[in-house]
Structure 1
């Protein structure tokens, strides 16, 4: 098997080709497999990613840095990088794993990638391994938001609503389906202020709430984009004051703002038109409400 292409994609050429061969070898293939390399590579990866995040996000606190790192080194993230490298075509698997599709299994691909990082560390040291890891992760960091990466849907929804000063959502179990050992929960998520009601399902109550929260967040964002706060509905309240043949028109007022009191409106001769608790003027005040086009 020619491994030149893989080394080009990694950006590292091995001095000891045997290290690369072992890093790609699953335990189903032979006794000289990659599990010890994987153990080493896991530690190298965590340190390299921590260093990368520390350098890149100088204003992010320790808690958020830990969240970011955990998300970047988890199996799914490693699996996606392995797919980008087309690592499956270089794996050395036993016959049983080949037949069962082991070359597509996320756990095997993620573990092999970690083993490669360990092999590079053994071949050329930490700086070489760190350089490879940075080259693989920087494109990912360029396309994600560090404020949201790794946060679950319920947390994102809660933070979004709090930022808009909207009350937190309500979650209710609507129904459960299936046998006791394989139940599916249907969860309702309500945001009364925005008239939003969505439903999510999952194998547990928590999973159902996460599914519902994801749908609710999408609905909230769409709703607020369509009707931003600055453009809330207003009621057209046009009043004409007919006094001695002169008509004045009030400006439009928002729904929640009361109409001003008309107790000290001046007549053409400069005298008050009406006074609270006093006598009525000779010419009565007529106020009508008309709709505008």
Structure 2
């Protein structure tokens, strides 16, 4: 489904929600989620930095958060059909857990973490680019996409060249 090979036991753990793990006394996907979250953050930050090298220290994390959040992750997970493979408890199943944004986002992070753990960082980075790059191209990651209200509430940023001249004494 994701066109990447992962050891069956690693993939099974990545697809194991906490509710299932507790009910069946097996390990959950939380450690893999943490690893996947780190990979996603790195790839998003690196991509933004390469595409927009003039972003400020404050703009970079704000745009990264717009790229990598539970809504985006859930959308991607739905798009690749990840929900039907998640191992969840009967109670979670009864509450439509396979389609909950939080469950889908967590499982996608865990799958990215599983790829990293099993195949290495390069394979995980490649997977993230395959999943996210089309979305970034469609939506853009520009501050011009920000709602006008958000822009108007943020203080104006001083001109950078004027700041450099003041610091250098020019």
TM-score w.r.t. structure 2 length?
Answer: 0.80
Larger Rg, first or second structure (1 or 2): 1
Instruction: Note if 1:141 corresponds to 2:132.
Output: no
Query: Relative CO higher for 1 or 2, CA cutoff 8 Å, sep ≥ 6?
Result: 2
Once superposed, what is the RMSD of the aligned Cα atoms? 1.9
Counterpart Cα distance in 2 of 1:62 and 1:142: 23
Unaligned regions of 5+ residues in structure 1, if any?
A: 1-5, 163-293
Q: Secondary structure at the match of 1:143?
A: helix
Counterpart Cα distance in 1 of 2:41 and 2:55: 18
Instruction: Note if 1:87 corresponds to 2:82.
Output: yes
Matches within 5 A, 1:67-82: 67-82=62-77
Aligned to 1:54: 49
Q: Secondary structure at the match of 1:11?
A: coil
Tell me the matched-pair count: 149
Distance change >3 Å, CA 112–CA 142, structure 1 → 2: same
Structure 1 residue ranges (4+ consecutive) displaced by more than 6 angstroms after TM superposition: none
1:44 CA drift (Å): 1.4
TM-score w.r.t. structure 1 length?
Answer: 0.48
1:60 CA drift (Å): 3.2
Aligned to 1:29: 20
Q: Tell me which of 112, 117, 126 is aligned to 1:117.
A: 112
Counterpart Cα distance in 2 of 1:52 and 1:78: 17
Q: Secondary structure at the match of 1:61?
A: coil
Counterpart Cα distance in 1 of 2:148 and 2:10: 41
Counterpart Cα distance in 1 of 2:150 and 2:76: 26
Unaligned regions of 5+ residues in structure 2, if any?
A: 157-170
Q: Tell me which of 128, 132, 137 is aligned to 2:127.
A: 132
Judge conservation of contact 1:52–1:134 (CA < 8 Å) in 2: no
Aligned to 2:102: 107
Q: Secondary structure at the match of 2:138?
A: coil
